[in-house]
A and B are shown apart, each in its own frame.
Chain A
């Protein structure tokens, strides 16, 4: 049974390894979130916003041409059609309602590709809450359109200039700012990382993805269970949402696509399950890319959203017990898969998502297997990267 335990662990991974200064914040959240989320009032508001504001349910689309090419029944879960262009908003809607119920006045968040930052700035605008987004200085350069979107939405974007100047450093900075503002501020973490209860809470808000896949597939194929589900993993929020209702359905294979960057042994990679060892980062014990001395290694991926040296503790656990299969997709292959999806189905995916598409070439499956790929985000934000790459 895959389930978080009372102390916040999935098997060996998880927990809440945080400085004492954050203990009251985390405790407040842990004590209140389950109770608040369980109320009819919360569920009503959450569901109503997901429907009318986010645009759920997102379609489960049968991709005929791709199916023919790969000899399987391929469905795309169209999270790219969510308001703001990616699955990230499912979680920010949930957390902003929670923050309001906790009486918080200010929101802070970290962002990598900028999708979570945009999704956070969006719900803050919706609720009239003050919003500050921490973003690695390097990511600010390579995700310019999202930076401007956040600013248009009224958020303050603060560059994280320490370390590798990417997602991990933005997360460090957001945690520091939470320490500095513990009372009136809620920290909306965007992935299934961080101290307990964040990984489980974010996974629950994202679990609407697999909840919908189940009934949508039932309508189309007469079964709730595909043979495989595929999702990309940086921290792992879209994968957690896609896997959630299948964790404990053993006949459904769970495939996670990590970013191999320039190649596993190139020194420029973000393939955590291949290169990582157990360690503690951002408040939880998980698999982590690090040196022998326990210093966190700066990861690389062409996609800013997968450029993270760890994975959520639930994914470390799924890997550890062999429940999920992990593949590592190189930059070049992901870019080509993005073009393939564009040309064959008329959908330009986010580069993160393109990693999940390429996984089709790296795994074995039976003819006519039903495969659901989570199309976590659209490629608008990545046009600069596509243009720079130029291979189309």
Chain B
């Protein structure tokens, strides 16, 4: 059974997923960062594949993408680094990446490699539902990869239901009209949206991302969903860290306390 499904069977609330960019801050930090995220008590690791043109990301993640690319990160390099991942990582691991680098790698080769390495799911923000259904759904299923779609406050009820129908794993609720890292705090308007989606009783668990940065926002988001995703705030923590393991532990524990 896919580790994402197992996780949500056993844990229905305050699930914490941490996003980081592969090969950041240093090329060989990928696995140590993953180990530190797991040891600190997070539930899901989301590995970001750096891309030259990340259109859904704000300056913090744009910068981490640029630095990772300058460090020499690529999908090939990432897969090398993840070769022995499952010897030390037991929690669910998801790959988040823009479509183009994956298309160049070859979608089937990519899915096959993910399965071999023990990747549990994918988040491809610029892969639309229709294209997924027509071109890629069979592949993802063949290689046992759970697919996560995003929804935003603008997403219609009809489309949320369609996305729920075609999602497997969890639904990524973008918390506001925004790119990553752009806003902080959670407003009343956002809570109305969180409640609205909660009341739809979707079949998939929901994690809220974008704008989650600390214990307060994590707890607030978790009140209306199964948990939350932290990206930009985590990137800031590791960016200038002198002691990754220690800083990651302190940060994550301050969030989930």
Contacts and interface: CB of A to CB of B under 8 A. Distances in A.
Contacts of B178: 21, 179-180
Nearest to A176: B179
Interface of B: 51-59, 62, 66, 69, 74-76, 98-105, 125-128, 130-131, 149-152, 154-156, 159, 163, 174, 177-179, 182
B52 A296 contact: yes
Contacts of A277: 104
16 contacts: A15-B131, A19-B55, A19-B56, A21-B174, A23-B128, A23-B155, A162-B62, A172-B54, A175-B55, A176-B55, A179-B55, A179-B179, A180-B182, A292-B104, A296-B53, A296-B100
A290 B154 contact: no
A20 B101 contact: no
Contacts of B98: 280
Contacts of A172: 53-55
Contacts of B102: 294
A281 B53 contact: yes
A293 interface: yes
A293 B128 contact: no
A279 B149 contact: no
A168 interface: yes
Nearest to B154: A24
A280 B52 contact: no
A17 B127 contact: yes
B56 A180 contact: no
A375 to B, nearest CB: 32
Given A163-B66, A176-B55, A292-B104, 5 more contacts: A15-B128, A20-B150, A172-B54, A176-B57, A180-B177
Contacts of B51: 294-295
Contacts, number: 115
Contacts of A292: 104
A295 B103 CA distance: 11
B62 A179 contact: no
Contact of B128 (A16, A169, A181): A16
Given A180-B178, A280-B126, A293-B75, A19 B150 contact: yes
Interface string A1-42: 000000100000001111111011100000000000000000
B146 to A, nearest CB: 17
Contacts of B149: 20
B151 A20 contact: yes
B33 to A, nearest CB: 21
A179 B149 CA distance: 16
Contacts of A18: 126, 128
A369 to B, nearest CB: 40
Interface in A279-307: 279-283, 288, 290, 292-296
Given A180-B182, A282-B55, A21 B154 contact: yes
A126 interface: no
A154 interface: no
Contact of A168 (B53, B56, B57, B75): B53
A33 B11 CA distance: 46
Contacts of B58: 176
Nearest to B76: A293
A64 B164 CA distance: 65
Nearest to A173: B55
A127 interface: no
Given A17-B131, A162-B66, A180-B179, A294 B126 contact: no
Contacts of A16: 128
B104 A20 contact: no
A162 B69 CA distance: 13
